[in-house]
Every structure is written in structure tokens, then in C-alpha cells.
Amino acid sequence: MRRNKFGKYYCKIALTGGPCAGKTTSLGKIAVDMVKVHPDWQVFRVAEAATLLSNGGVFRKDLSGDQLLEWQEGILLTILRLEDVYERIAMAEQKRNTLLICDRGGLDAKVYAETEHWSKILLRNSLSENELLYRYDAVLHLRSAPEIYYTKVTNTQRRESFHEAKVMDEKYVDVWKNHFRYNSIDNGNGGFDQKIDECVQIISQLINEIREK
């Protein structure tokens, strides 16, 4: 975990997962719980880039060819730029430590990108997968909901069936599994609340490790 010039820590978490994992809802709840547990930390929530672009009227399902390349590159660059804005604010913070929770991380862009497009995007922007992987102090992978709870109602842009979502979820495993703090958070008997609690516990453990040093 990094410190700024004022001696304050800042920590960046990638929150990832397949369709209907409860990711976006979790982000808000985790932020509230973290402030309660660690009042000396402030929490910044970095919005999902794909949602921002879709809200502007451009939808991936309507694109093809070079348009898809531009869309996917735009997603990645928007993710990185948004994170950088919040991180620079954290680097200038004098009073509190800062936790940045990102609604998706840079490598999420690879999951939906065509293989040849992804290689071109990395080359055009002088990026590597390792660079994107280790931008984060930890990765929390929320697994897609069980079939009984799977729904498209909570996200109008969700196109995947339950079985397609499970396939997509495994792709997120593939892109993030090599991170040294990769955490797979499944749907246990405690349901959605259990997911939130587990996320808070993992982040708290990371914070407590720092305090003990």
C-alpha cells in the first residue's frame, strides 16, 4: 500500500465480476461499512466506465468492426483516467487515509474485447497486462448470482442468459487470478449480505496489516 507525501495511505481495490454479481450495489454498501469500521479512512467510489459511455447513447451491441475497437479502447482509457483523477486527490490528502474502490478494473476491458483488438489496444497505448493487473492493491471478484436469483431487471444493458453469465464470470477469473491478492467471493448461504461482509473483512484485514507494520 502506498503513502502520499503527507504520510497518509491510499489503497486501490478493483471490484470485478460477471453479470448479476451485485457489484455496483455492493460498492455503495462496502463504502458505507468501511467508514463505520475505519473512521480514519475516507472512501472514493470510482464509477463503471461502460455505464458512463452507455448513458451517453452508445451501446456495444450496436457496434462492429473499427467501432468496437474504438469502444473497447475508450472503455479502458476511461477506466484508467477516472482512477487517476481519484488517485491524485488521494495523493494530496493531508488528514485521512483513502480507500479507492473501483467499479471494475483495467483488465475487465479484456473480457469483452476481440483478441486482435486487445493486442492492438495495448500496443497503441504502450500498456502491458501486468501493468494493468498490478495497478490495484487487491482484487475482489464477486461471482454471478445463482440461477434462482439471476435477473436482467437490475441492469437494462444486461444481455446474457444465466449460462452465458457463468461463462463470462470464468473469463474474469482468467484475467485476474494471477494477482497476489485475488479474492473470489462466492454466493454462500448468507446471500448478498454475506458477500458484503466478506468484502469488508478482506479490506479490513489489508488495512490492519498496514497498521501493524
Can you give the pLDDT of all 213 residues of the chain as single tens digits? 799 999 999 999 999 988 767 788 888 899 999 999 999 999 999 999 988 888 888 888 888 888 999 999 999 999 999 999 999 999 999 999 999 999 999 999 999 888 999 999 999 999 999 999 999 999 999 987 766 666 554 555 556 666 777 888 899 999 999 999 999 998 766 677 888 889 999 999 999 887 766
Q: What is the pLDDT of residue 144?
A: 79
Cβ count near 66 (within 10 Å)? 9
Could you give the angle at which helices 115-124 and 66-91 cross, rounded to 10 degrees?
A: 50
Question: What distance lies between CA 105 and its chain's CA centroid?
Answer: 4
One of 3.40.50.10490, 3.40.50.300, 2.40.110.20, 3.40.309.10 is the CATH number of 2-212, namely: 3.40.50.300
* pLDDT of amino acid 153: 46
The CB-side HSE value for 170 (13 A sphere, CA atoms) comes to 5
The residues with which 10 forms a beta bridge, in sequence order, are 2, 98
Q: At what angle do helices 23-37 and 191-212 cross, to 10 degrees?
A: 50
Q: Looking at the chain, which runs of residues are DSSP E strands?
A: 2-3, 9-17, 41-46, 97-103, 138-142, 182-185
pLDDT in tens, 140-172: 999 877 666 665 545 555 566 667 778 888 999
**Ramachandran region, residue 126 (left: φ > 0; alpha: ψ -120 to 50; beta: rest):** left
98: exposed, middle or buried (Cβ count in 10 Å: 0-12, 13-18, 19+): buried
Q: Is the pTM for the entire model greater than 0.85?
A: yes
DSSP-derived letter for residue 105 is: -
In the prediction, which pLDDT does 148 show?
Answer: 61
Cβ neighbours of residue 166 under 8 Å, at least 6 residues apart?
18, 144
Domain-by-domain residue ranges, the chain? 2-212
**C-alpha span between 167 and 126 (Å, rounded):** 30
**Which of 34, 32, 37, 25 minimizes the C-alpha distance to 191?**
25
